Amino acid sequence: MALLKTLMQSRDPLTITFTDRSQKFQSFIVKLDTDQAELWIDEMIPREGDRYASQGESFRIDAWHEGIHMRWHCPGATQVQLEDAPAYATGVPDEMHYHQKRGAFRASVRRTADIAIELAHPERQRRFTAYLMDLSATGCKVRLEGDLSRSLTAGELYTPAILSLPDAGRVEVAAEVRHVHFREEANETHVGLMFKQPSALAQRSIDRFVNYLQREARRLEKEDLF
Say whether both 140 and 91 belong to one domain. no
Q: What is the CATH number of the domain that holds 219?
A: 2.40.10.220
Q: Closest Cα to residue 183, out of 125, 136, 141, 139? A: 141
Residue-range definition of the domain harbouring residue 8: 2-100
C-alpha 148/C-alpha 107 separation (Å) is 24
Show which of 44, 74, 100 is a domain's final residue.
Answer: 100
C-alpha neighbours within 13 Å on the C-beta side of residue 145: 4
Say whether both 95 and 180 belong to one domain. no
| pLDDT given at position 225 | 43
Say whether both 210 and 180 belong to one domain. yes
- Tell me how far the alpha carbon of residue 101 is from its chain's centroid: 15
Say whether both 118 and 96 belong to one domain. no
| DSSP alpha helix (H) spans, 138-189 | none
What pTM, to 2 d.p., does this model score? 0.57
| 134-172 pLDDT, tens digit each | 998 889 999 999 999 989 988 999 999 999 998 888 999
Average pLDDT score over residue span 127-138: 92
Per the prediction, the chain carries an average pLDDT of 88
> How many domains is the chain built from?
2
Say whether both 112 and 214 belong to one domain. yes
226 pLDDT above the threshold of 70: no
Say whether both 122 and 215 belong to one domain. yes
Say whether both 83 and 137 belong to one domain. no
| 91-112 pLDDT, tens digit each | 999 888 877 555 566 788 988 8
